[in-house]
Structure 1
């Protein structure tokens, strides 16, 4: 089962590995994604940006300094130059195409568009890999999600947010299927409203069982975590009740 709507219907909640199993491996690397798949995550989440020559690569920050042995802006380097860097434990910065090849037929992929310009090139590769149903495009940038919708109306989309606002209504208006609030904004009332709008709720980022239990009790549809094994154990425990 890799179709996004089916994965978001897993009960009591689906487990999303944040930047792979990044609590244990270098974030946004193939190694972290493989670890997440091995421990049984339902979906993995990665961040995409464009290289100087327009290739979608997996990187959270605008700059290279925090997670690689390079420095400066990702967009100032060609993909060939980026591939020479160490992203942790000898891992290379992955191409989006590599990530898609790795996860195909195994887990769902939440692809966070870190910049609007990455939208169409990323969609093109997803289409070429015939993986539209296995991917959900997510972003803080509404323009990025609207760009995806204009190009491919049936591509799954989710709106991320970290501050109060009209996000639920906006997500519904943009025909998203999900929202991804920072977990402190996921009140029982907000979750209930989202569900009445037929939006799935994926909260981020939770690594402790106490908070995860509260979110599960409130009825979230997915929990994004750096430690997918921990959330899988909780789900198994709750499923036995």
Structure 2
């Protein structure tokens, strides 16, 4: 083959394929990847204290497609990453403040900064702080896509933060509160949203999810079988299963066509791609 023909042939082949660029992928591009996505639940939370920067960094380094986190607002309005409704399980709040069952959103950010969010998991993580949502986004977006789960807080504050960081097209936001999702969709229609739920995944509930503007269904894996997965996909939506830590269960969901697996052990689930 002549050099000219070779160049023409290569040019034709490349024209039919997506261009490889150094630009960060959009959330839409990531969720459209073939096969199943591996989503690190609260970061690499099987090996690191959940919802902390070390857990997020590890998940990114492992190559998780998305890294999930949970957020609340402090009493003075600072969004920060934490899962439980009370601070006691995954911080030293009880020891520091001498109280049980302290509501997660009851303290000012200055107080939250004093808490240890790592030692409960393992003494070697002593001194690990609670991160702000902004700090978590900065870490995760260096090499993955953030799956932002709202636990408490208004849509406007979340959308404003994402807009300021130019991340509206580079994250996914999910919630159990579908009214919150509808508010997000109204404020930022380009934002990809996921509706969380469990139990019966009926046509009526799917109608509600689509009305809220969600493009992803995040459902308790115990309530999912092939029929529910296919029903969601027939509507042009993606379906992700939470929280799947058993390899055999993950394999069954993959065989049934699941689009994404949310797991505490991303390294283990990623091995199923091999």
Same fold (TM over 0.5): yes
Aligned partner (choices 105, 111, 117) of residue 87 of structure 1: 117
1:3 shift after superposition: 1.8
Partner Cα distance (2:162, 2:211) in 1 = 24
- Report the secondary structure of 2:43's partner residue: coil
Q: After superposition, where does 1:223-234 map in structure 2 within 5 Å?
A: 223-234=261-272
In the alignment, which residue of structure 2 is the partner of 1:114? Answer: 151
Distance in 2 of aligned mates of 1:196 and 1:2? 26
The alignment partner of 2:261 has SS state of strand
TM-score normalised by length of structure 2: 0.83
Name the SS of the counterpart of 1:169 in structure 2.
Answer: helix
- Paired residue secondary structure (1:179): strand
Q: Deviations over 1:130-182 (max 9, x none)?
A: 01111111000011111111211111111000222543221122221100000
1:83-102 CA-to-partner distances (Å, cap 9, x unmatched) read 11000122111101101111
Q: Relative to structure 2, which stretch is displaced further, 98-107 or 206-215?
A: 98-107
Name the residue aligned to 1:137.
Answer: 173
**1:49·1:118 contact (CA, 8 Å) conserved in 2?**
no
Which residue does 1:127 correspond to in 2? 163
- Answer whether contact 1:13 1:223 (CA < 8 A) is retained: yes
Counterparts of 1:33 and 1:111, CA distance in 2: 12
Unaligned segments of structure 2, at least 5 residues: 1-23, 95-101, 119-124
Given that 2:181 and 2:213 are in contact with CA atoms closer than 8 Å, whether structure 1 keeps it comes out as no
Contact in 1 for aligned 2:182/2:213 (Cα 8 Å): no
CA contact 2:240–2:259 (8 Å) conserved in 1: yes
1:73 aligns to 2:103 (yes or no): yes
Q: How does 1:179-194 map to 2 (within 5 A)?
A: 179-194=217-232
Per the TM alignment, residue 80 of structure 1 is displaced from its structure 2 partner at its CA by 1.1
SS at match of 2:105: helix
Deviations 1:180-227 (A, max 9, x none): 000022211111110111110110111121001100011111100000
Instruction: Tell me the distance in 2 between the aligned counterparts of 1:123 and 1:173.
Output: 19
CA-atom RMSD in angstroms:
1.3
Determine which of 43, 48, 51 is the counterpart of 1:25.
48
Q: CA deviation at 1:9?
A: 2.3
Larger relative contact order (CA 8 Å, sep ≥ 6): 1
